[in-house]
Structure 1
């Protein structure tokens, strides 16, 4: 009798545990479903917005969600409020950065990666003086958001975190921008003095004054240096001198001829295909989306495809203008809805300039000597940025990260 009773009790306990596990599993699936829906609705591009289930303890019914999107938080809370679970939404910026939610890049060119650690894939770059949002700190690195909205990780040595007061002081100071392709700053107003750091086009520093033909400048980390006056301009004067014309954009693009291809690169030290177009527009006073698959969603659409959706060279030669962007999918004869993986800038007469191995010029004309590379990809779209009214194509002077 006792054995039978024990057997019944054990079976009952097992059934209860199984039911509890089933219940926990259904809760987990429901949390996943709602977070996935919130991601689709409010953060479809994880490169620029974050909604993610980062921790799940099914046994204890504890779930942690990271989010940069208040609207997504409201959606999740509304759809999970009846669930018997401990659901915590961690808003970014989070407590790991305390009150230092602003940052300024402190190297001539800083590498940003998809995850913390130098072994992680490079996502993009940011150059000296660029202001960023600091969202999170982990393993000695910061998760930051760049002026074009790109979210990735950067070593703490590459950025100076600032609280609101310090950041406001940085912003109030007059700035200079370095206008040579490559150079360096000096420890004294003397070309023979020790170098403070290297510099590249577009680097921005605080202006302290002038001395012996040099700008006296300060870095975000308060290092003092000197730059020859002939190699920089006041940031305000530089902005006032920018004019977005096809001639100017192509001229800037051609200054990068021969630069090596660098995955994630967005500076004159090396560029990837979209980093190349991004940099050409930056040189002319504009911030545009970071990646080719994002750039194809901006600007005015140019008709270059036939009735079946395939590239039509005759139509392209007729409708394209210099400095229009051409977008490609991998492989020959890809369908027009294929994922965009490459971007180039149209020059004219069937030629385009792009970063592929190096920055170089190719042609869409079959009888041209430089047609080779065109055969390995399929053109699927073209966009015109110059003259387009699109908030994704923004003047630097209007972008809050440069004010």
Structure 2
């Protein structure tokens, strides 16, 4: 088997072997992956973090050893807490954003293969899950981030990418898509019983889960819809006061942090 790591701020993972193909997700700096297949200038990879797979351009592939990949997968890594930062060594400076991984970070430097990079920004505590208050503070960093199908970065993010990144930074790994995330946590039976940090899920007319957001105080919800924004939730769904209409139909609420 072959393995790699993302050495750029963000790399698109596509559904097919074309620059025109749908972006199914993104890979952030410091994420490791396993190579599943190759097709010309394209590499089919599976992320070690959440098992999601897609195609990347071979020019954006950085190989790592099997031992490094194994150690990466078995280690909890701090995540970048600042909106924008850089990592650097004597050869290069790499821009990175919130949610990026800091492999084998010791408080000052991180390691990729046998190279060391310096990081001077804020990092999450990989050994201690965050409190609800800390989770909501992390989520607030994403306000006004534009919606992007398949996105996971501050410059473009989708609804489940938003919840995955916020919970991931706070020490809880969720799957990539909303219909997968809904299988985590305990059900909250009434909208009036929600607590900050709960995840609210929404379905389409066929009953498929298509949207997710993070509950706040006062029945407000933070979610990625056009942008990461705050709206109101009631038993019907999300109400957008600017447009004076409901945008999503509530299906179920789950509590991750008990």
Question: TM-score surpassing 0.5?
Answer: yes
2: CA distance, partners of 1:299 / 1:171: 23
Q: Between Structure 1 and Structure 2, how many residues are aligned?
A: 254
Please state if 1:248 is matched with 2:149.
Answer: no
Shift of 1:283: 1.3
- Pairing partner for 2:228 from 326, 346, 359: 359
CA contact 1:261–1:357 (8 Å) conserved in 2: yes
Please state if 1:145 is matched with 2:49.
Answer: no
CA separation of 1:110 and 1:302: change in aligned 2, threshold 3 A? same
CA deviation vs aligned residue, 1:131-154 (integer Å, no higher than 9, x gap): 212111112222111221212112
Two-structure CA RMSD over aligned residues (Å): 3.1
1: CA distance, partners of 2:104 / 2:68: 16
TM-score (norm 2): 0.84
CA contact 2:150–2:157 (8 Å) conserved in 1: yes
User: After the TM superposition, which residues 324-363 of structure 1 pair with which residues of structure 2 at under 5 Å, given as runs?
Assistant: 324-330=198-204, 334=205, 338-363=207-232
1:281 alignment partner, SS class:
helix
- Pairing partner for 1:131 from 16, 28, 32: 32
Please state if 1:159 is matched with 2:61.
Answer: yes
Higher strand content, 1 or 2: 2
- Pairing partner for 1:203 from 82, 93, 100: 100
1: CA distance, partners of 2:187 / 2:155: 31
CA contact 2:32–2:72 (8 Å) conserved in 1: no
2: CA distance, partners of 1:379 / 1:182: 34
CA separation of 1:373 and 1:338: change in aligned 2, threshold 3 A? farther
Aligned to 1:43: none
CA separation of 1:356 and 1:152: change in aligned 2, threshold 3 A? same
2: CA distance, partners of 1:344 / 1:238: 24
- Pairing partner for 1:378 from 245, 249, 252: 249
Structure label with greater radius of gyration: 1
Structure 1: gaps (5+ residues)? 1-98, 189-193, 305-315, 388-403
- Pairing partner for 2:186 from 295, 300, 317: 300
Please state if 1:287 is matched with 2:173.
Answer: yes
Please state if 1:264 is matched with 2:150.
Answer: yes
2: CA distance, partners of 1:320 / 1:117: 43
2:138 alignment partner, SS class:
helix
CA contact 1:362–1:374 (8 Å) conserved in 2: no
Structure 2: gaps (5+ residues)? none
CA contact 1:364–1:371 (8 Å) conserved in 2: no
Shift of 1:196: 1.9
